[in-house]
Structure 1
């Protein structure tokens, strides 16, 4: 009787071992690199998330892969992420899903890709995003950085707008998106407003028009804006030319009263404020005789020194 009980106990132990469930494994698993948005010394940047998905199932699978931006590091908020410098000084920036900077990549917007994987296969792809630093911020030169923690690479389930890391037969991953920028003592040219004299329908001694040059420099950074003679200058005179080679002289001035001339290679100086500054340019055409009918133009090179 004792031997019979021992045999039953051994059988029970074997059954117990055989009945222990194995750990469940997702049929599709996606992983990604740790992405970076590196502005360098520019105000715009482009970044990517490189992902790879593997199908462990003997049948093909298809799903929508999604990327949800994570929580921004201090002192940033979902509404306004910020990089932090060593002072500490903060630098605002934004991340977009489009290169034109029209649609923010935020908690309400996902990056998505339709993924199809063959049986026991693997596929890879890339999510692309874009960064912009608004100009005119009073941040000193130096290195700045930020992070988006728990940026999610997951699956967009049917009928929802929620990016999920884990779902039936799917497993995703969290990554940290790093952001960095280096501000240098640099100035940049912005919008240049052309001087358009319009149409001359009859004889007039002078036609007035105005344009402008926009620039951005760090606070208190000295700058110099100079204007060359254009393509058709002769001596000290700038001239416009038509397709037949006819010429019309014109001048450039610093002031609306047109008393302070921008000579050829003449310049104007100033100091940066950290915000956009506009330098007006005034240009009369002085006509001694009515020129032949035609379209006259010239191109003046504007040089920003700092």
Structure 2
């Protein structure tokens, strides 16, 4: 005759084996999908010429600013700068104004100030590829020399930076 504890153990063990024998599983897979959009943002910083232009001397004055570009990783982009708001301005000769008076200047893509920054792709624009992080693009400005009849005043212009991606 079996002791009671052994009977209980055997009964429990058989029950567990029976439950395991009855347990079954099934699986199914599902796909997970997301779309990452190509995206770019651009922020322009002001360009203030630190040295005042002296029309009695008429020599050029240089200045510099930056554009901050953030694009989705591996997104190709192109940045263009328009001619500004000065009447008669072009990308080669932009015009800051003070009332009816103008002060001519140019914006360049490189420190040597030989390649203008305008709107014609690819000869006047800056191209790049996004990294997902902010990228800084320098903008080099120059007030053109020889403007000896410019009256004193504060001259301003607004240039629009456009990013295409």
Q: TM-score, normalised by structure 2?
A: 0.68
- 2-side partners of 1:264 and 1:184: how far apart? 25
Matched, 1:225 2:84: no
Q: Is the 8 A contact 1:252 1:262 kept in 2?
A: yes
**Once the 2 structures are TM-superposed, how far is the Cα of residue 289 of structure 1 from its aligned partner?**
2.9
- 1-side partners of 2:89 and 2:42: how far apart? 28
State which of 110, 115, 138 in structure 2 corresponds to 1:280: 138
Higher RCO (CA < 8 A, seq sep 6+) = 2
Flag the 1:277–1:203 CA change in 2: closer, same or farther, 3 A: same
- Partner residue of 2:16? none
- 2-side partners of 1:250 and 1:185: how far apart? 34
- Partner residue of 1:241? 97
Flag the 1:221–1:299 CA change in 2: closer, same or farther, 3 A: same
User: What is the DSSP-based 3-state SS (H/G/I as helix, E as strand, rest coil) of the residue aligned with 1:261?
Assistant: coil
Q: Is the 8 A contact 1:248 1:287 kept in 2?
A: no
Structure 2: 5+ residue runs without aligned partners?
A: 1-31
- Partner residue of 2:48? 196
How many pairs does the alignment contain?
126
Q: TM-score, normalised by structure 1?
A: 0.38
Determine which structure has more spread, i.e. the larger CA radius of gyration: 2
Over the aligned positions, Cα root-mean-square deviation in angstroms equals: 2.0
The structure where strand makes up a greater share of residues is 1
- Partner residue of 1:252? 107
- 1-side partners of 2:68 and 2:147: how far apart? 34
Structure 1: 5+ residue runs without aligned partners?
A: 1-85, 88-141, 144-182
